[in-house]
Amino acid sequence: MKGIIVGTDFSESSINALMHATTIADKAKCDITLIWAKTPGTTLGLMSENASEYADLAQKQLNKIAEDHKTLMPKGKKIITKIIEGKVHQVLAREALEMQADLVVVGTHGVSGEDEVFIGNNAYRTVISVNCPVLTIRNQTKVSRALTDIIVPIDYSQESRQKLPIAVKFAKLFSAKIHVLGLYTSELKDVRQLVDAYMHTVDKYLNSNNIRYQMYKRESFNANETTVNFAKEIDANLIVIMTEQSSDFTGIWLGSQARDMINNCCFPVLSVTSSDFFASYSK
Q: What is the pLDDT along the chain (283 residues), one digit of tens a residue?
A: 889 999 998 888 889 999 999 999 999 999 999 999 987 655 544 455 566 677 788 899 999 999 999 999 999 999 999 999 898 999 999 999 999 999 999 988 754 444 444 545 677 888 888 999 999 998 777 777 789 999 999 999 888 888 999 999 999 999 999 999 999 999 999 999 999 999 999 999 999 999 999 999 999 989 999 999 999 999 999 999 988 654 444 455 556 777 788 877 889 999 998 655 444 434 4
**Intervals of CATH 3.40.50.620 along the chain:** 4-137, 149-282
Cα distance between residue 106 and residue 228, in whole Å: 20
Tell me the CATH number for domain 149-282: 3.40.50.620
Q: Which residues contact 30 (CB under 8 A, 6 or more apart)?
A: 1, 2, 3, 4, 74, 77, 102
4-137 homologous superfamily:
HUPs (3.40.50.620)
Indicate the pTM of the whole model: 0.87
Give the C-alpha separation, 34 to 69, whole Å.
11
| Cβ–Cβ under 8 Å, residues 126 and 27 | no
Helices (H), 209-255: 223-234
Q: What is the dihedral of CA 14, 19, 21, 27, to 10 degrees?
A: 180
Strand 269-272 relative to strand 213-219, pairing: unpaired
How far, CA to CA in Å, does 196 sit from each of 89, 150, 158, 207? 37, 20, 12, 17
The DSSP output letter for 155 is -
Sequence-separated (6 or more) residues with CB below 8 Å from residue 17: 6, 7, 8, 105, 106, 107, 118, 135, 137
